[in-house]
Structure 1
Amino acid sequence: MVQIPTTDGPADAFVAHPEDGGRHPGVLMYADAFGIRPTIREMARELAGHGYYVLVPNFFHRQGPTPVVDLPEHIGEADRAALVEQVMPLIKDLTRERFQGDAEAYLDFLGAQPEVGAGPVAVTGYCIGGLLATRTAAARPEQVAALAAFHAPVAADGPESLRPLTAETHFGHAETDLGPQDLEALNRSLDAVGIAYTSEIYPGTVHGFTMSDTDAFDPAGLQHHWDRLLPLLARTLANG
């Protein structure tokens, strides 16, 4: 764990990177609304094992260090409603204006680490973290070369919010989150931006399909996610 200075105090964050003494491309990873926990750490370590420095900030840091919400070891459907009720006020409190400063602080911290190589970085995220990843890539297009978001409300800010994007992008949607018509509308917006992208519905998945500690977990969906994410990073980041 590390501490990232922000205008509203330090944000705690989890870091994973190869222990070889070298410099590696940076990846800013945003967790889902349930935050940093063993499943997220495992995913960050998996990504780091492919040669990346991975930074996972606690974006609810204003409410305290992680874990901000007490979580069971496995998040079943019986637990989800009560947990969502706890995190929704935190999401509403994280306004776009507050998050803008946080995103810049996270990227500045990532770029300043001695283990991170010079050059562009990638941003990825899950659920609400996918929306935060999209906002981050739009805020710093000159620094972010790759964007990936999974089962995320990436269109929540409207099509105009996507216009600043220059990063190569992948959006992986759950079947329960996005219908074919919504996907078509989103992809038209991405076409208008003119970036290289893929945006697809993962067959047979429900919201949260990448998270192995929830009832939503789909092993094939998680593997599909890696099959999209890793080549994207390899194409866009130096030494990826």
Structure 2
Amino acid sequence: MSDGSAEAYVAGDAGPGVLLYQDAIGLRPQIERIADRIASWGHVVMAPNVFWRDGRAVDLAPTGDLNDPESRQAFFASGVMDRVHRLTPEIVRADGERWLAALHGLPGIAGRTVGATGYCFGGLAALRLAAHRPDEVAAIGLFHTGGIVTGDPGSPHLELPGIRAAVLAGHADNDSSNTSEQIAAFDTALQAAGIDYRTAVYPGAVHGYTMADTAAYQEEGAERHYRELRELFARTLTA
């Protein structure tokens, strides 16, 4: 935003902190519902509007039904991916420092370390933050995250050696942005880095399976992601 401020949704009264990175669609009621669910496990959750440079969350949110193919196509044609691509690794790291500072400043936060969970490209942001601030980020979840292994010199998986966080990766088995070859390469990189990790391919799931406001939603996969994420945070985040 022009004044340099960023909005965020906060849920929870007390407990270890969790930073929630939205998907490409943006900060909206569905992301707030995910934050509320995680907060119910005993966490303080903050979901920032990572597209704050482009405008307020309400102005960037879809106005049509994303279960309708035409509405979805129109929304993504409105510049969604342009916003994503403008979030370079450098910007993600710089903003991540701001998000962590804001999260630590919330009332009720317990403990020095936090968790992070990311959806779609938000998983990449969580990974890069964990590599940038390894002493602060104790656990990260990545769900239906594409582009984790590429041939580029800045491929996200190359940051794994700098991570101390436990990693949970829930991949969709029908995701063109994250092929079986990429998933296998990511697992190999996790092993080589000596990271405490759990990874799985969710059957019958497509990219975006956790998002109940889209046609990609798969209840079985979404509920599984909640169970596994709760277990991750329970064993890694302490008050």
Q: TM-score, structure 1 length as denominator?
A: 0.90
Amino acid at match of 1:45: D
Distance in 2 between the 1:42 and 1:103 partners?
Answer: 22
Change (3 A) 1:158 1:133: closer
State whether residues 14 and 56 of structure 1, in contact with CA within 8 Å, keep that contact through their aligned partners in structure 2: yes
Deviation at 1:82, TM superposition (A): 2.5
Aligned equivalent of 2:10: 15
Residues 40-69 of structure 1, C-alpha deviations (whole Å, 9 max, x = no match): 111111111110000000000001111242
Tell me the residue number matched to 2:38: 47
Contact 2:30–2:212 (CA under 8 A) maintained in structure 1: yes
Q: Residue in 2 aligned with 1:74?
A: 65
1:181 to partner: Cα distance:
2.8
What residue is the counterpart of 2:162 in the other structure? 164
Q: Does 1:226 align with 2:226?
A: yes
Structure 2 alignment gaps of length 5 or more? none
Q: 1:62 to 1:169 in 2, by over 3 A?
A: same
Distance 1:158 1:43 in 2: 25
1:70 CA drift (Å) = 3.9
What SS does structure 1 have at the residue aligned with 2:223? helix
Deviation at 1:176, TM superposition (A): 1.6
Q: CA deviation at 1:235?
A: 0.1
Q: Which moved further from structure 2: 112-121 or 36-45?
A: 112-121
What amino acid does structure 2 have at the position aligned with 1:71? P
1: CA distance, partners of 2:71 / 2:133: 37
What one-letter code is carried by the residue in structure 1 that aligns with 2:168?
A: H
Separation in structure 2 between the aligned mates of residue 94 and residue 67 of structure 1, nearest angstrom: 19
Matched, 1:34 2:32: no
- 35-44 or 201-210: which moved more? 35-44
Shift in alpha-carbon separation, 1:115–1:217, aligned structure 2, 3 A:
same
User: Which of these residues, 106, 123, 129, is aligned with residue 113 of structure 1?
Assistant: 106
1:15 is paired with a residue whose SS is: strand
Residue by residue over 1:74-110, the C-alpha shift from the partner in whole angstroms, topping out at 9 and shown as x without a partner, is: 3123222322232111112222222221000001111
Matched letter for residue 67 of structure 1:
V
Whole-Å Cα distance in 2 between the matches of residues 52 and 11 of structure 1?
Answer: 22
Instruction: Provide the alpha-carbon RMSD of the alignment.
Output: 1.8
Aligned length: 230
- 1:126 corresponds, among 108, 114, 119, to 119
Q: Does 2:51 match 1:60?
A: yes
CA distance in 1, matches of 2:158, 2:237: 26
Which residue matches 1:84?
76
Contact 2:149 2:185 in 1 (8 A): no
Residue 118 of structure 1 deviates from its aligned partner by: 2.5
CA distance in 2, matches of 1:158, 1:58: 21
Contact 1:30 1:57 in 2 (8 A): yes
Match of 1:138 among 131, 142, 162: 131
Question: Contact 2:210–2:217 (CA<8 Å) still a contact in 1?
Answer: yes
Residues 138, 161 of structure 1: 8 Å contact kept: yes
Deviation at 1:11, TM superposition (A): 1.1
1:73 and 1:213 in contact (8 A); partners too = no
Q: 1:49 to 1:189 in 2, by over 3 A?
A: same
